[in-house]
Each structure stands twice: as structure tokens, then as C-alpha cells.
Amino acid sequence: MLSIYRLLINIIYLFAPLILHLRVKKNKEHKIRFKEKLGYIEKKRNKGRLIWFHASSVGETLSIIPILEKIEKIQNIKTILVTTNTLSSSKVLLNKNLKKVIHQFLPIDTNHISNNFLNYWNPTLAVFVESEIWPNFIFNIKKKNIPLILLNGRITKKTFTNWIRFPNFAKKIFKKFDLCFVQNQESKKFLTLLGKKNIKDFGNLKYSQSKLSKKSNLKTSLIKNFKNKKIWCASNTHEGEEEICIKIHLLLKERIKNLIMIIIPRHINRTNEIIEKIKKYNLQFQLRSKKIINKKADIFLVDTFGETNVFYNIAPIIFMGKSLEHHYTKSGQNPIEPARLGCKILHGPNVENFKDVYKFLQNLKITKQINGKDELYSYLLQNINSKMNKSHNQRKIENKGQKILNKTFGELKKILNKNDN
């Protein structure tokens, strides 16, 4: 099976330059650094111990920030290499004051490129986050006797079904991990069925709060948009949901004065499409990226990366997208970030991907399921003027997150100390 995978990934590599150039034109790849995905390395490797983390996209990258903060304080760790796949995740790291961190885009997982990558960076420890499994990297990591960790591992029923089609191959891959930290019992069960034994279930690392993201950094000029306003936020929205929320906002404006809605789309490359929807309903809007302030804005559209926490800090009620419409193949978005910041979270019935998280938060009365646009309108109408004690919800999440973070970092430190001897 490995030989078939290597053949397929080599074929993909042949077409990769063309694919990447097309993605650059669509602003989905970095105009210069896209070459890193083809195996080019231009950044210098500092002397001393280096830990490598690989996180796929924004959510995974944000989840490891608290761990990175702690590792930065370890004197004999000189460099932390963080690789990601997406353009947006690379921009998230730019907003963090992490002095030891170097970012690179993960190269395509060919046998040759993965070997060159590992020879150059020579990590003391390799950490893959959530469900990032790259066979050539994994096999070559273990050939070089580098400890390998799966952090905040997540195996859903769907991914397990895919892996179990190739049981021997799957078991060989997961056997290579020295230790797996999983988010929940479901992931532990599926990893066990795939033959993995050394598993620790401390909980979802995304509950931990990054100290660097607690303060809102909205500029004074932008605060004018929200002064004396009633605010609600539609976050992680997908196609179709923005228009539903815009219609609801129009109805709410008839009943509630000084109302503004913040829209944070899941994919900001859809900004122009969303602007057209806003114009269709003759509403005023403000783009986050624009310096000129529109004081009459009905809608504040976030078209920048890595700032969701800033807006969650000022919005008491959040509607989480990808949950109302039934046609989404992967339903639901992770609600932990707004929960950490004390928000009341509304969501549709389709949250299969994060059902354990929503169940936990529902028990704490932090989330509420709404079954359609009429229910969403009714809840907002009744509660938008209510005063909410955000700190109460924050304490609940912070206590859980701190326990998960401390346990996880404690185990990682044991591995680092063992490898140091």
C-alpha cells in the first residue's frame, strides 16, 4: 500500500506547480512562498534543539499557541518550527509574539522531499496536530528515530471508515506514533481499533486560552463602529447562511435601534460575493480591512485573518455557521473559541463534526440549538437587549482548558526531558 501511495503522490507532485500557480492567481497561496510546498527551503536553521509542529489550518494552529507559549520558556529549545498547509494559518502566526517560532508551508509528502526536509531541520521531536497524517513523513521520521506525537488527535466515524478500508496500512502508520493525545473518547475508541495502545485522553486542547489572545486590539477608530450599538455576530458562515442572517438582521432593525451585525465568513475569499448580498438588501457595510469608517454601517464584514477572538470579545451572542443548511457534507464548526470568551452560542441542528463539544457546552447552558431562521430571529429579538455575564461562562471554560493544557504540556515535557538524557 505504501508503494501505491508513493506512486500517487509523485504523480500529484508533477502537476503541483501548475495547480499552485492557479491557486496563487486566486489568492489562495502565497505569491512567493508557494515554492515551499514544492520542497524549497530558504529559511536558516538555527543551532540547537528544534521542535517541529505541523498543524493544517487556522483552527489547529490556534489550538497549539498555548503549548508554544510554554515551550518558548524552555531554555534549551532554541527553535520551534511550525508548518501549515493554508495561507490563512500562516497569517495567524504573524499576529503572535512568538520569538522562537519559524513558519514554513508543509511540502508535498513525497519520499524524497520528506527526507530532505527532515535532514535539513533535524527536529528533536515531531508533533502532528489533530488528523494530519502524512505517510512518507511519518515513516521517515521513525527511520531517523525521532519521537513522534499526535497532539489533540481527532478520528471521526467517517475518517475511521476510510482508514479501516486499509487496515494493515493504517495500523502500520498509527503504530509509528510514540504517543497519541486525543480530544475525546470517540477518537480513543477508533485509534484503539486501529491498533494504537499508548493513548491519553485529556480533552480538547482548544479549550485552553492563549494569553496572547485575551485582549481586544480593535483600534480606537474602529471602536466607533460599535459604540452604543447592540451587537450580534454570525461567524464561520458558509454559502447561503449570510443571506439568511442578513434577512434576519433586516427584521431585527425594525424592532431594535442601533443594531449592528458582524459577519465573519469561514472563507474570506468570498468577501465580494457577500458584499453583493449586502447591497442586494440596500444595507450599509464596513470592511475590517478598510481604514475609512462608515458610521452608518449596518453590517461589519470581517475580511482579515486571525481576529475572530477580537470580535467575540465585543459580541455577546454568536451564531455559528455551517449548521443550519442540510446540504453541508461536513456539518458544524468548532464553538470552543467563542465559548472561551464568554459568548452565548446559537447553532443549527447540523453539528455532527463537533457533537461532543456542543453536548458539553449545552450542559453548561453556553450553547443553544435553533432549528431554523424563525427560531434564530425570535431568540435574538428576545435576548439581544439582555445583559450577559460573560465572565461566568469564561471561568467555566478556562478552568477546563487550564487542566487540559497543564496535563498535556506535562507529558510533552517528560518526552523532551527523556530525549535530552
d(CA 312, CA 310): 6
pLDDT value, residue 341: 85
**Virtual torsion, Cα 375, 377, 381, 382, nearest 10 deg:** 10
384 in Cβ contact with 230 (< 8 Å): yes
- The residue length of the chain stands at 421
Q: Rounded mean pLDDT of 304-314?
A: 84
pLDDT value, residue 269: 85
Query: Computed from CA positions of residues 111, 117, 120, 124, in that sequence, does the dihedral angle turn out positive or negative?
Result: negative
pLDDT value, residue 216: 47
pLDDT for 212 beyond 50: no
CB environment 284-302: b (16+ within 10 A), e (fewer): ebbbbeeeeeeeebbbbbb
Read off the DSSP letter of residue 107: P
Query: Minimal CA–CA distance to 393: which of 373, 372, 368?
Result: 368
Higher-confidence position of 179 and 28: 179
Structural domains of the chain, with CATH: 2-17+24-208+401-420 (3.40.50.11720), 213-397 (3.40.50.2000)
pLDDT, tens only, 227-239? 788 999 999 999 8
pLDDT, tens only, 142-172? 999 999 999 999 998 889 999 999 999 999 9
370 in Cβ contact with 347 (< 8 Å): yes
